[in-house]
């Protein structure tokens, strides 16, 4: 299969043929948002320039601001915590589950303080967090839950599609994701008031925009009025371009096939490691459906050194192994830094001992192969590495 097909090309050409006339409006964006809301079982979908702006806007729209605390996992892209900082708030790191590697609800509850306003659970590698437990905590403490589902398209949690459980959910269309427009993102929510606030934050605070799909543009009748008061609130220009929306719409219409291909690739890796005692896959609890943005295993470094494994895998025909991201609070931009005068958590070693143990042992295998024969070669290379070091 191809990553980009004639469907996406035809939608891009449709936009180009419009000559970007203002009268053409944001037709492609409207179509994308309407379809995305349908697929992910939400009332509203609002498109963005990327999947970090999405979270910034959602937090701001929920009233999360300076001095507020937002509980986040440390094992993910730093963008999750950057969005908290963009809102003027303080990231507070909770530890991860030792088997699923998603944020641990017990650790979340221990981190709650009078300043806590929100939780951002991340569906890491395509696996959702324990959302029932998180939503129960949020209800008891009156907290806003923003799902970061950048790596999880068409994943399921106990029969519910991932993205439909929290108060809002963020998706990314960056180039490595299940569906991509090069860059881009989407926020979904069932809350009309929240959606209106997100749309205005996304669109320079314009009063004429609203929650419904296609309400991101302003008509000539309104904008040409000399008495028109444009800005009802402070906002950013986070809108998705029509060309990106065109590509994203084509990808959305092919999304099930794109996700299925990644699941097929993950199954090849899973078969390769099935009887290996020193490679432990990410645990998938009962009634969860993993969408496999990547296939990830934990390496027993007492058996094989991480760098030795990577070197041998490349020698035997594999692509380079990706390490898990450095834990966010140990990144140079965070470690031993204070972002707010009331910040209580010191960003240094020891905050999340489970995550600190697991992160240097993770091996991330790519699943974004669009030729199954190539993926089979990579899985065979993995099998050869396992045979080399011994099962």
* Residue whose pair of structure tokens reads 């090309």 in the numeric block: 9
Residues marked as catalytic:
177
> What does the DSSP assignment read for 36-102?
HHHHTT-SEEEEESSTTHHHHHHHHHTT--TT-EEEE-SSS-THHHHHHHHTT-EEEE--B-TTT-S
Rounded to whole angstroms, the Cα distance separating 248 from 255 reads 10
For 221, residues 6+ apart whose C-beta sits below 8 A from its C-beta are none
* Residue whose pair of structure tokens reads 């979904």 in the numeric block: 188
310: nearest Cα among 301, 298, 319, 300: 319
Q: Rounded to the nearest 5 degrees, what angle is found at the Cα of 244, between the Cα atoms of 240 and 248? A: 105
Rounded to whole angstroms, the Cα distance separating 357 from 351 reads 12
Rounded to whole angstroms, the Cα distance separating 241 from 233 reads 22
The alpha carbon torsion through 232, 238, 243, 248 (nearest 10 deg) reads: -110
- 3-state DSSP percent of the chain in helix, strand and coil, to 5: 40, 15, 45
Write the CA distances from 384 to 273, 277, 296, 318, 378, integer angstroms.
11, 15, 18, 10, 10
Per DSSP, the three-state class of 156 is strand
């Amino acid at each position: 299969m191809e990553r980009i097909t004639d469907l996406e090309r035809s939608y891009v050409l449709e936009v180009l043929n419009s000559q970007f006339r203002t009268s053409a409006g944001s037709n492609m964006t409207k179509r994308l948002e309407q379809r995305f809301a349908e697929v992910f079982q939400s009332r509203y979908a609002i498109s963005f320039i990327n999947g970090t702006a999405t979270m910034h806007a959602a937090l701001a729209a929920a009233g999360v601001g300076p001095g507020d605390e937002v509980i986040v996992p440390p094992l993910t892209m730093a963008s999750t915590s950057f969005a908290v900082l963009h809102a003027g708030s303080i990231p507070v790191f909770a530890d991860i589950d030792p088997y699923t590697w998603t944020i641990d609800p017990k650790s979340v509850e221990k981190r709650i303080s009078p300043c806590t306003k929100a939780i951002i659970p991340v569906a890491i590698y395509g696996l959702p967090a324990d959302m029932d437990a998180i939503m129960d905590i949020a209800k008891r403490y009156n907290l806003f839950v923003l799902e970061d589902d950048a790596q999880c398209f068409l994943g399921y949690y106990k029969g519910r599609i991932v993205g439909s459980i929290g108060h809002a959910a963020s998706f990314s269309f960056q180039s490595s994701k299940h569906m991509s427009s090069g860059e881009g993102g989407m926020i979904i929510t069932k809350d009309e008031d929240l959606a209106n606030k997100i749309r205005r934050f996304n669109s320079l605070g314009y009063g004429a925009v609203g929650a419904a799909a296609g309400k991101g543009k302003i008509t000539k009748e309104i904008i040409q009025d000399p008495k028109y008061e444009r800005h009802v609130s402070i906002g950013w220009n986070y809108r998705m371009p029509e060309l990106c929306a065109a590509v994203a719409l084509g990808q959305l219409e092919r999304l099930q096939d794109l996700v299925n291909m990644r699941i097929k690739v993950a199954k090849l890796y899973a078969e390769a490691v099935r009887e290996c005692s020193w490679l432990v896959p990410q645990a998938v609890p009962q009634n969860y459906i993993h969408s496999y943005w990547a296939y990830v295993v934990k390496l027993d470094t007492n058996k094989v050194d991480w760098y030795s494994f990577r070197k041998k895998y490349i020698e035997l025909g594999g692509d380079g192994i990706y390490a898990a991201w450095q834990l966010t609070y140990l990144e140079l931009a965070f470690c031993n830094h204070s972002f707010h005068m009331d910040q209580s958590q010191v960003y240094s070693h020891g905050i999340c001992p489970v995550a600190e143990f697991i992160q240097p042992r993770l091996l991330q295998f790519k699943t974004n192969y669009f030729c199954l024969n190539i993926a089979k070669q990579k899985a065979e290379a993995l099998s050869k590495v396992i045979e080399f070091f011994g099962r």
